[in-house]
Chain A
Amino acid sequence: MADRVLKVNAFTTFDLLDASVEGHGFEEGAFATLNVRTAREAPEAITLELELDNTELESVPPHADRVTLSADEARTLATELQTAADRVDATGAD
């Protein structure tokens, strides 16, 4: 079986998340790691990396996905996540 694609250590943003993969005719759930990365030196972009545990998946080959964000895009995402988090918190407070 294939090894993980992403490294996982104490600096990984999330080493344990619930995730799913969906396509035409398949949908599977698995644990996942999610990491925010920037270059050590003079970073110009942010990379979001996601990998679902390949041992749990039959519909897709072992892999990781990456999305590259500009600083503005990362801030937009952060704002939306913040707003969404507030709404979830508000639900919990009801």
Chain B
Amino acid sequence: MPSKVERWKDETYGMEIRDHLLRFAEEGWDAIPEDEHDAWFERFKWWGLYHQRKGQESYFMMRIGTPMGRMTPEQLRTVGEVAKEYATGPVDNPEFGDAYADFTTRQSIQLHWINVEDIADIWDELESVGLSTIQACGDSWRNIVGSPVAGRDADELINVWPVVQELHETFKGNDLYANLPRKWKVAMTGDRRGSGQGDINDLAFEPAVKEIDGEEVAGFNVNVGGGLARKEPRFARDIDVFCRPENATDVAAGLSALFRDYGDREDRFNARIKFLVDEWGPEKVRSVLQEEYVDYELPTAGEDLRDEYDYNAGRADATGDYVGVYDQSDGQNFVGLSVLVGRMAADDVIELANLAEAYGSEMIGLTQRQNVIVGDVADEDLDDFLAEDLLSEYSPDPHPFMRGSIACTGTEYCSLSIVETKNRMVRYARYLRDNVPVPEGVEDFHIHLSGCTASCAQPQIADVSLRGMKTRKDGDAVEAFDVGLGGGLGENPQFADWVKMRIPADEVPGYIANLLETYEDERAGPAESFRDFVADRDEDELAALAEAEETSYEDPYLGNTKMTWYPYAEDTSMDASPAPTDGQGEPLPSDD
């Protein structure tokens, strides 16, 4: 029997949701029938809106999908202006102020505290510069990820930007692929860094070369069925298909139609294509694709470039991100700026856009490590650009502990999370920077902090993986983390080994300090990366590497932030919440 969500989708889904949203925007929050909230909130996702958690009724998170994280300075400025005007809530965030934008691990932008009454105005502003919230969430083609500097990167096999634009234009707003059994995440990589992180996507195009009819062709190997969620992490499986760039749309159409037709619509827990690949095996995926969905003979896989991959690969000989100054193929430079936990104040977003424009940049890039790139900086302007005040906050040369951190949304807004995340990760990073020696040779150290087992911060592919839990300390329940070590992508992707459970949140910095001290003392030398160091040790050795410890670090969110209406409010109790509110933020009378 089709699931409840499938029945809601059968009634109304896809493009038509827009008209309903515009109607609710006109009529106000109260016009959404209370007994239909679940159905409407599920549908709204397709147009990029997630209802926020308990205690924040009537407020939405809005996601804007930017293919490969690529934007113009004008688009970035518009994001900042929309954030400033519409993404403000009843209480400021103590670290980030009243308005900010989140850059996500899938190169999108998230804004919070959005009122449904403002949707039409926000869409007008976004769409006037070519931005959209279409299919940013929901069961369809999500934002396509890949390197934002495709076509500019001096170190790439294929410029995938035209191919990604074609995919984006073909599969956004396309009724044939609007209603899939579950989300459909696509990565396309044309560089030698592996920056698309295709291994953790439903469909991955990985750069490859193949000799066809005596000619060496640059294209892609096709992998299917990666993903981290549901405690069932999988790397995408090789289905032994090589794809020329001009065939990418056909192959992508075939595979997403295969998923549409054969994916599980009865059990959403089993719906992602990774489970179909488990069931069928890659050979059957290939044969069904060949026989039912494409009308040319699929070549077998070519030779990949995986041994060159360094993006989030935990290598000692290369940093695993885009932070820093890099050569463009046209002789100019792109500059990657570190944005701690991916959150940037709206004023800073606008200032960065203005700065980029002033330096003649035509491209801003959001990366999967929640950082931002400014492209097209000329050699003669580089020193001036690097000396700009804003770059002291968002540095191209940050301290290693300020560089590698990713955090999900957490209890601030998310219904699933059981711990506070972003502000805590900021505090961890600052503490580590100020108090913990960096092992010699370490330039970036990746800590991924996720609020629960849903894996939104990609905790399984970090040097240190932190995943929200609870523990008891001095008789009280406190927020805590399970700890994993040694995950990463690259030539041989590896999920983290989980080595500790329930470390109290205020003892995590002490644990990391002790861990790094052991690493520096016991590693073979600076050439042995942390990831290799972990890979060389067995379970017992890993568990014994370090102990948790209290330090001078203070954690203001140790209590149960899940039970607050907003963790940073003066009065955090659910009863103190002003929600639901009307379009002006005034509390609406409650029904009881």
Contact = CB atoms under 8 A, between A and B. Distances in A.
Interface string B69-103: 00000000000000000000000000000000000
A1 B471 contact: no
A1 B499 contact: yes
Given A11-B416, A31-B501, A40-B268, A16 B3 contact: no
16 contacts: A1-B542, A4-B482, A5-B231, A8-B418, A9-B416, A9-B418, A10-B411, A10-B418, A12-B418, A15-B470, A31-B501, A41-B3, A53-B502, A55-B498, A55-B500, A55-B501
A41 B266 CA distance: 9
Contacts of A5: 231
Contact of A1 (B468, B477, B539): B539
B469 A40 contact: no
Given A31-B471, A55-B543, A10 B417 contact: yes
Interface string B498-529: 11111000000000000000000000000000
B452 A10 contact: yes
A1 B454 CA distance: 19
B139 interface: no
Contacts of A10: 53, 411, 415-418, 452, 562
Contacts of A9: 416-418, 452-454
A21 B454 CA distance: 28
Interface residues of A, number: 22
A16 B470 contact: yes
B498 to A, nearest CB: 5
A16 B477 contact: yes
Contacts, number: 73
Contacts of A2: 498
Contact of B453 (A4, A40, A55): A4
B500 A15 contact: no
A7 interface: yes
A15 B418 contact: yes
Contacts of B502: 16, 31, 53
Nearest to A6: B231
B387 interface: no
A90 to B, nearest CB: 23
A15 B469 contact: yes
Q: Which of B266, B498, B539 has the most CB of A within 10 A?
A: B498
A53 B471 CA distance: 11
A31 to B, nearest CB: 6
Contacts of A53: 501-502
Contacts of B31: none
Contacts of A41: 1, 3-4, 266
A3 interface: yes
A42 interface: yes
A3 B482 CA distance: 9
Contacts of A3: 231, 484, 498
B239 to A, nearest CB: 26
Given A7-B452, A55-B543, 6 more contacts: A15-B418, A16-B470, A31-B472, A31-B502, A40-B4, A42-B1
